[in-house]
Chain A
Amino acid sequence: MEQKTLFDKVWDAHVVKSVPGGPDVFFIDKHFIHEVTSPVAFLNLETRGNKVLFPERTVATPDHNVPTIDQDKTIKDKLSRMQVEKLRQNCKNHDIELHDLGSDHHGIVHVIGPELGITQPGMTIVCGDSHTSTHGAFGAIAFGIGTSEVEMVFASQCIMQSKPKRMRITVNGELGEGVTSKDIILYIISKISASGGTGYFLEYAGSAIQSLSMEARMTICNMSIEMGARGGLIAPDQTTFDYLEGKDHAPKGEDWDKAVAYWKTLKTDDGAEFDLEYTYDAADIEPMITYGTNPGMGIKVKGNIPTTDGMEGSNKKTYLKSLDYMGFQPGEPIQGKKIDYVFVGSCTNGRIEDIRSVANFVKGKKKADNITAWIVPGSREVERLAIKEGLVEILEEAGFKLRQPGCSACLAMNDDKIPAGKYAVSTSNRNFEGRQGPGARTLLASPLTVAAVAITGEVTDPREV
């Protein structure tokens, strides 16, 4: 029998038809939508006189532009309000499950999907959002699509996709103290570069990956796109099954047993081939932070910003443009740089485990005076747990402000913007120019490093606080 990778097994089970000389007609099990990338898809669908073919396969929530205060009141920003209202109207008209602002399971789409047990192994999942790759943590093929494709999924539950190549990234060994899954992924991206995964679908494997919780695995898969890969997945195992058991949308009773039996087959066969493989040792990974304007520009917190040695032409020009934007010099250490804001949240690190680790770290300490500290739970469920576990009091005593769920300062579509020229150390996923507000300077790091920065007011290795 042919040896197959996990990716091949899941992909091949979803091909309705292969178009000669072209892409596959690729069936989508679950479709998540939000307020920003869906309105034009609904509009075009209606203009053409089409209907949503399988409304029960789409789930909606407004997350990108929603305010993170006063969510019980009318949204002040007119355009944001219109987008959210449009989403409500569209979901009503097309009979789509909506987790609206203020409802029990409102939150960032990539946080609530797993939380509700909608995300399951072996599924294909898409959303008009590149961080859909998050759901790969469950052994699903999950990736971001454009609005034209959102319309395709509405109309046909399929998209036209060419099968990507296969890459496996293996991380073996044990993680050191103070090193988290965010550091693993920032390390990998710094090695492979912001474009090194383009054209591939990733599988993360190895003992260091297997030892991670579901939350930590989601952080890794979430940032697959930051290497240019459409997505990345991790073979489901007992950790996956334990997480899913009992969740609202997870199978129950006999169906559960059947599902688990199938999920156990979802792993790469021994001897299956990948187009490209990388292997790393967990012991080499230290707390990481980015210094530039793409997520591949990462170094150890204790490291120096690379010099321009060996760079030339547009490569060097682009590099210097990036450092100029950040206000950094080639060759200087990053440790000790003064910071103005910290942000804990986003689909990368806005889960309960992230908030626990920050609370645990700052317990009994106070944030530095120069720091404004925002903490934005990824969902209402995360918010509820944070309150129940007493984390909110700890965080507030340390000087953090807890806001309401949403994408918030990760992309600054709402009012949660970092002012021009200011530095933010953020648990989010992108450090692009202006990502957290026009002129804002973003350094990406783990929740632990962010907590350390909040206390000292400058770039700090969390192992040294």
Chain B
Amino acid sequence: MAYDKFNVLKSTVVPLSTENVDTDQIIPARFLKATTREGFGDNLFRDWRYDNEGNPKADFVLNDPTYSGKVLVAGKNFGSGSSREHAAWAIYDYGFRCVVSSFFADIFKNNALNIGILPVTISPEFLDEIFAEVEKDPKTEVEVDIEKQTITLLSTGTSESFDINSYKKDNMQNGFDDIDYLLSMKEEILAFEPSRR
């Protein structure tokens, strides 16, 4: 699936300091029954966001109008558990383009990159600083620059660089995905396959 190109993103953030947010929280299994990938954003963090009657829970950050933006800043070990790409779809569909944390679960990270969400891993100290600054002033912005591989907290000027392999970086900057590349490899794959029979 093609997605938006990612270059420089300057945005306010939505803070979610809870640790070990698993994909069952991001999108509960009962919402996985669709056969297309649209509309998952409505059920993003469903059981934290709404009560049993479907009323928004006031104490959950997505229901707090103070916070908005295209960057989700999350506690460590974000996206653990199930491989459901629906979790990344829900985050994308809701409007996030970047998730920042001090630690990501592997499959979620891959899924995010595959659909055009940039996972940015920063130090625990910087993560704490962002949470503290955003709590002081919800209008605090971060700037994520994929070319320079940096994330900057604009209120304090604190900046860190983050890792992304050059292949994925190129994909993100151009909105390509792996299928394009793999199809270009078809002859080599066909030549390789008999060795695995």
Contacts and interface: CB of A to CB of B under 8 A. Distances in A.
B35 A86 contact: yes
B103 A198 contact: yes
A50 B183 contact: yes
B150 to A, nearest CB: 18
Given A144-B107, A152-B182, A195-B77, A16 B192 contact: yes
B28 interface: yes
Contact of A25 (B32, B35, B182): B182
Interface string A133-166: 0000000000011111101100111111010100
Nearest to A82: B35
A43 interface: yes
B102 to A, nearest CB: 10
B47 A438 contact: yes
Contacts of B1: 44, 148
Contacts of B104: 198
A48 B1 CA distance: 9
A433 interface: yes
Contacts of A16: 185, 188-189, 192
B111 A195 contact: no
Interface string B159-197: 000000111100000000111011101101100110010
A40 B80 contact: no
Interface string A210-244: 00000000000000010010100000000000000
Contacts of B80: 194-195, 228, 294
A43 B185 contact: no
A321 B75 CA distance: 14
B141 to A, nearest CB: 22
Contacts of A86: 35
Contacts of B183: 50, 155-156
Contact of B107 (A130, A411, A434): A130
Contact of B76 (A37, A151, A155, A195): A195
A49 B75 CA distance: 40
Contacts of A145: 83, 107, 110
Interface in A389-412: 411-412
B105 interface: yes
A36 interface: yes
Contacts of A294: 20, 22, 80
5 contacts: A64-B32, A157-B193, A198-B77, A314-B131, A411-B24
Interface of A: 14, 16-17, 19-23, 25, 27, 29, 36-37, 39-40, 43-44, 48, 50, 53-54, 64-65, 77, 79-80, 82-83, 86, 128-130, 132, 144-149, 151-152, 155-160, 162, 164, 194-195, 198-199, 225, 228, 230, 293-294, 313-315, 317-318, 321, 411-413, 420, 430, 432-435, 438-439
